[in-house]
Amino acid sequence: MDAFRVVSPGSLTTVQDRGRYRFIDRGVPPSGALDLTAFRIANLLVGNPEGAAALEVTMAGPVLEVLCDAADVALAGADMDLTVNRQAAPMWRTLRVRKGDLIRVGQAKSGCRACLAVTGGIDVPLVMGSRSTCVKAKIGGVEGRALRKGDVLGRFAGQPLRHPRCVPPESVPVHTADIVLRAIPGPQEEAFARGLDTFFGSSYDITPEADRMGYRLQGPPVHHDEGFPQSIISEPTIPGNVQLPADGQPIILLVEQTTGGYSKIATVISSDIPKIAQAVPGSRVRFRRSTLEEAHRVCREQALRMRELEAHLVSPR
């Protein structure tokens, strides 16, 4: 059934789900919501199954006209001004909307990306196991592209919630301009015996070249040790890999890339990828040395917190 008409698309709004991993060995990037925590919470707030497709909104959001009789929507992620029919509406909670309502997602005040979920999930065709948009490969989402003015988006059937839900204020993430990312050395840390100290001891600015493919940083250069070549035999890249080209300025690789030929000094732990998703040009990043054991413990803690949150989504006062 129809859900929304796109009155204005915002700066970059795409349909995303958990990502497309089935053909990652054929050069198909995983895509998927960059802030998976916000994505899961937005879906929980409208009672959707975990992997239902939602809209990923970047920097400045869309204006959507509601086309269906009644549905729930929820916005989670970057702190954005949200209005329904020009009335301010809260993020991080279930909002009931009706036919003809106008949802306006404004400019991000802090953070970069938010997820807008709707009852049933966005209905776009499943392409190679996922509904995620990959603009580069022109697949998924709406015709493999970002939303445009005039697009009509469908949603799958689903019941609006009997009682609205809201995330307790203490569980709402705070997005700061100083970001600490935990990273595990590797896969090519041996090329940077000296560079590792610079890398973990410095702070880096996020440059304007920052998108779903990767974030280019600027700061004290990290050079290969003597005797190590500037490039390696190309191999798959994993979201979170920090690669170092010849100029020594780190690039954090994200979800729209599959292979690369530069050495990777370290890899941001998967639980901290949402922090990158919320980083904007001008933010500062420091890397803190982590271990596999710590990273896996954080994964388990995060999964537990998500289950607790699900159990304690409270009715708003």
Partner 1 sequence: MSHLYDKPQIRLSGDRAVLVEYGDAIDPAVNEKVRAVTALVKGSLPEGVEAVIPAYRNLSILYDPLVTSPDRILPHLLGLEARLREIEVPEPRTVEIPVLYGGECGPDIGFVAERGGLTVDEVIAIHAGTVYPIYMIGFTPGFCYLGGLDSRIHTPRRKTPRTLLPGGSVGIAEAQTGMYPVDSPGGWQIIGRTPLRLFAPERENPFLYEPGDRIRFVPVSPAEYNRIREGEGR
127 binds partner 1 (CB under 8 A): yes
Tell me the number of residues near partner 1 by CB under 8 A.
40
299 binds partner 1 (CB under 8 A): yes
Q: Which of 5, 7, 24, 211 binds partner 1 (CB under 8 A)?
A: 24
- Cβ at position 262, least distance to partner 1 in Å: 14
x/- map, 189-228, partner 1, by CB under 8 A: ----------------------------------------
- Cβ at position 216, least distance to partner 1 in Å: 19
Q: Give dist(CA 131, CA 244) in Å, integer.
A: 32
Name which of 147 and 268 has its Cβ closer to partner 1.
268
Q: Give dist(CA 279, CA 261) in Å, integer.
A: 25
Q: Which of 303, 308, 315, 316 binds partner 1 (CB under 8 A)?
A: 303
Strand partners, 1: none
x/- map, 231-270, partner 1, by CB under 8 A: --xxxx-xxxx----------------xx----x--xxxx
CB 257 within 8 A of CB 189: no
Name which of 31 and 94 has its Cβ closer to partner 1.
31
Q: Give dist(CA 46, CA 54) in Å, integer.
A: 11
26 binds partner 1 (CB under 8 A): yes
152-178 in b/e form (b: 16+ CB < 10 A) is ebbbbebebbeebbbbeeeeebebeee
Q: Which of residues 136-195 bind partner 1 (CB under 8 A)?
A: 136-139, 184-188
Name which of 106 and 187 has its Cβ closer to partner 1.
187
Query: Which residues are CB-neighbours of 163 under 8 A, at least 6 positions away?
Result: 315
Query: Which residues are CB-neighbours of 169 under 8 A, at least 6 positions away?
Result: none
Applying CB under 8 A, the span of 3-11, 155-163, 219-227, 291-299 interacting with partner 1 comes to 291-299
CB 20 within 8 A of CB 11: no
Q: Which of 59, 128, 161, 213 binds partner 1 (CB under 8 A)?
A: 128
Name which of 155 and 182 has its Cβ closer to partner 1.
182
Q: Which of 49, 292, 314, 315 binds partner 1 (CB under 8 A)?
A: 292
